Structures are given as structure tokens and as C-alpha cells.
Chains A and B, each alone.
Chain A
Amino acid sequence: MSDEQQVGIVLVSHSGPVAESVVELARGLAAGGVTAPVAPAGGLPNGGLGTSAELIGRAAASVDRGAGVAVLVDLGSAVLTVKSMLADGDELPENTRLVDAPFVEGAVAAVVTASAGGDLAAVEAAASEAYGYRKT
């Protein structure tokens, strides 16, 4: 755990408004103590639906404080783009991790945990655990 450097969080969606709204939602639901850097990377640079490696790279760089970056994604090309960037490229900050989590619930858990000073493993665990919450 580190008090000074917080884990950064990037939310990648096929849609710009979805990514931005989930950032707002996660910040809002995490309430008062939100201090962790969170950035959306939604849609294509021209505003269309899709996944942009460029926007993801920029968002990750903007939230990187040296404590690692957790990336949450929605589906399809968002998953594959981040995976391929992690596998080969140098477009993402060191210590960036794709987190296997439900997008909305995982984002809230990640923001709360990162704001509380959790390290990258703790943020990842909290986001992934959101899969365990059954709704029926």
C-alpha cells in the first residue's frame, strides 16, 4: 500500500458516452474519498463506436502515477485491443494490467479500492470480485 502514489484506472468502452458516464458513476458511487485518477477511453477519435488504441494509450498515460494502471473493458475489440497492446507494444505505461471484471460494478470497486490506497493487485482483486455478486 502506498499513500502517495495511487493506481490509475482506465475504462474502455466501444462508446465514448458509456466510458465517460461510467467514470462519473464510479466516482459518484465511491463518494467522498475519490482521489484515484480515472480516465475514460471510449469509442473512436471521430466519435464513432469502436475501440481506439490511441485513446487508450493517452488515457493510460494520463492516469499513470507510477503505481500501475488497471484497465477495465467492455467487450469484443476492447478486450482484444488492450490484450494486443499489452502483448507486444510499448504504447502502455509499465505495470499496466487488463483486469477481468464486470465493467460497471468492477469500475466502482476499482475506484474505491484505488482511492483507499490499494495497490494494483488489490484493485484487480476488488474489481474481479464484483463477478461474485449475484443479482437473483
Chain B
Amino acid sequence: MLDTDFFRRWMTAVAASVEREANHLTELDSAIGDADHGSNLQRGFAAVTEVLEKDAPATPGAVLTLAGRQLISTVGGASGPLYGTLLRRTGKALGDDDAVTGTQFAQAFAAGVAAVGQLGGAQAGDKTMLDALLPAAEALATSFDGAAEAARAGAVATVPMQARKGRASYLGERSIGHQDPGATSSALLMEALAATATDGVGA
């Protein structure tokens, strides 16, 4: 079973990972975006860690719902509402249980990813975070490590794609040859999840 602490530790792990990779994310974003992805997520997830400590939500669903809400209010770029919606919808789908099964979580996460697709209107192959999240959600039904691997592979697969959503789409063919920053941070999210599961307690 995955308890409240598992989800809190996942969010803390994402914050640490985003902090470590902020420069890399911003570098990727300066190639095809507006060079703020790293700092935006850094600010957002630092605020998430802070509010989770302060409010100490009592259920897995409440942890993710609060985290999502915090991202929407603090990020300031498109990644705020996108990641915010992902976490908030996943949290809502988890309901009020004190602990959830891996299967429950995989289903809730798939609902969260679907909500991201609906919000941004993007599909697989558009060179967005969905290119990492869609395969990750599918693999999550089987294992955390599989989900991390699928997300990483999905992010790398965005390199030859031409962007069809967001600011990068204005570049047209010039967006080809660069890895999508959003897909890259999505891979960080899933790698942090796998690391949290390996760390034990919640597994």
C-alpha cells in the first residue's frame, strides 16, 4: 500500500530533482522556449514542499491535490496549470483513502494525464510533456521503474519531433532536433517516483 508519507516523499524528491536539474531544464527551454522552465518548476516545487510541511495533509489524495493547487498559484508559466492539473486530478481520483494500492494510483494517474491532454489540447507526438507522461501512465500499471524508463524514453523520443503546441510550435521545423523541456521534467517526476518506491517504506 502507498500511504500519505509516500506521496509526501515523492513530492520532496521531485523538488530536489528539479532543483538539481534546473539549469539543464532552462537550457533546453532556451533552445525552443522562453528559458524559464527550470526556474519556474524550481519555484513551484519549493513552494509545494513548504505547503506540505505547513499544512500536513492527511491522505494521499489531499497531498497531491494541495501540491497541484500550489503549482497553479506559484509557477507563473504554462507548466504551472499543466503539472497542477496533473497532480490535482490524480489526487481527486484517489479520494479520501488513508492509503492506496498501486493499481488505484496507476488508474488515478492515468486520469490526471488525460486531464492534462484535455487542458492543453495536445496529443502524443506533439512534442510536449504528454510524450513522456502517456507511456509512463501505461507502464505504471506494471511497475514504478517501468514508468520511469518509459518517461525517459518518451522524453528522448521528442528530439526528432516538430512542436505542435505551445511557444515552441512558433518555431516550426526549427523545433526539430531539440529535446522537449516539458517531457524532460515529466521524466524527472517519474524517476523521483521510482526512487521514492525503491527507498522502501511505502513500497
Contacts and interface: CB of A to CB of B under 8 A. Distances in A.
Interface stretch (B16-24, B84-92, B141-149, B189-197): B84-92
B78 interface: yes
Contacts of A87: 85, 115, 119
A91 B78 CA distance: 18
Interface stretch (A5-13, A25-33, A49-57, A122-130): A49-57
Nearest to A51: B76
A85 interface: yes
Nearest to A90: B69
A53 B73 contact: yes
19 contacts: A50-B36, A50-B77, A51-B80, A52-B76, A53-B80, A76-B77, A77-B76, A77-B81, A80-B78, A80-B80, A80-B120, A81-B80, A83-B81, A83-B119, A84-B81, A84-B85, A87-B119, A88-B92, A89-B69
Interface of A: 44, 48, 50-54, 76-77, 80-81, 83-85, 87-89, 91
B72 A81 contact: yes
A80 B81 contact: yes
A80 B119 CA distance: 7
Nearest to A46: B76
A48 B40 CA distance: 12
A50 B119 contact: no
B174 interface: no
A52 B57 CA distance: 24
Interface in B70-115: 72-73, 76-78, 80-82, 84-85, 88-89, 92, 115
A122 to B, nearest CB: 27
Interface string B159-177: 0000000110000000000
Interface in B32-81: 36, 40, 69, 72-73, 76-78, 80-81
A88 B89 contact: yes
Interface string B114-129: 0100011000000000
A87 to B, nearest CB: 7
Contacts of A51: 76-77, 80
A16 B136 CA distance: 38
A98 B180 CA distance: 28
Contact of A77 (B73, B77, B85, B115): B77
B76 A44 contact: yes
Nearest to B91: A88
A84 B72 contact: yes
B88 A48 contact: no
Contacts of A44: 76
Contacts of B40: 50
A54 B89 contact: no
Contacts of A50: 36, 40, 76-77
A86 to B, nearest CB: 10
A50 B77 CA distance: 6
A48 B36 CA distance: 12
A48 B119 contact: no
A83 B81 CA distance: 8
Contact of A76 (B69, B72, B89, B167): B167
A130 B82 CA distance: 29
